[in-house]
Every structure is written in C-alpha cells, then in structure tokens.
Amino acid sequence: MKNPFIPFSVAMITPFSMNGELYLEGIPSIVNYYKKHDVPALLISGSNGEQHSMTIDERTSLFRAVKKEAGNDLLLYGGIAAVQTKDAIKLAISAEECHYARFSSLFTN
C-alpha cells in the first residue's frame, strides 16, 4: 500500500512591510524558495501567530496570492483559526475557493 501522507509541511512565513502592512509583493520569492528546496506543502496563515495581526480580508488576499504563485506545485493548507466562528467560516470558504488541499483550525497565540 502506498503511503498517503506527505513527509512534511512548512508553516509559511507571512511577509509584512517595515510599517507592518501585509506585503503581497513578497509572496513570489517566498513560495519560490520553498519550491527550490522541495517543500511538499505549506500551511498559510496558520501557526506562526500572524493571524492575530491580520484582518479576514488580508488573510483571504494572502490565500489567493499564495495559490496564484504556487499553482499546483505545492499542497496548500489554509489556516482558518479565528476568534469568531463566522470569520473561520469565511476563511474556510476562501481556502476552498482557492482550491487549497485542506485547512487547519489550530489556534495559536
């Protein structure tokens, strides 16, 4: 039987500008770094704690930007943890619309 699990995944760092704004222009170099180093999967906005400093709109923009750059070369997991259930639902829908493989509701602080 073939092993259905990938060997590992990485919690992708989220790029921010020097003034603390989400820096989507940094996505291509980050995603390409992970591709170059044969990372099979990325967790986006999930376990580095950045979700606490981002709006739901910023997180959904991040989901879209990473998917655009990664294409189908990486499995993507969307971090959907949120204080309010309605926000977690919005994030889950966004991850699904971006064709992410899975999502994680792990809440970190």
Burial class (CB in 10 A: 0-12, 13-18, 19+), 108: middle
| Stated pTM of the model | 0.87
d(CA 74, CA 81): 21
The pLDDT of residue 107 is: 56
Cβ atoms of residues 95 and 86 within 8 Å: no
Amino acid identity, position 102:
R
Q: What is the pLDDT of residues 59-101, one digit of tens each?
A: 999 999 999 999 999 999 999 988 889 999 999 999 999 998 8
